[in-house]
Amino acid sequence: MGLVGEVRGVDRTDIRVLESTKLGFKKVIMPAANVQAVPSLQGIEIKGVSNLIEAIRSC
């Protein structure tokens, strides 16, 4: 998260999403810049956002 509300990319998003599924999460809101790095997984919705407003609206 940046100072003006932008959502910045993070490392190892594929591993983070896999761990989320193991913990039972059904939806992941993540930086839009990282969505392409994550494989499609059944049972989990992946939503890429660019700023805080988009993240709140995705909930």
What is the domain partition of the chain in residue ranges?
13-58
- With residue 14 as reference, give the H or E element that holds it: helix 13-22
pLDDT of residue 1: 87
Q: Quick check: 57 pLDDT over 90?
A: yes
pLDDT of residue 40: 82
pLDDT digits (tens, 9 = 90+) for 3-34: 889 999 999 999 999 999 999 999 999 999 99
pLDDT of residue 45: 93
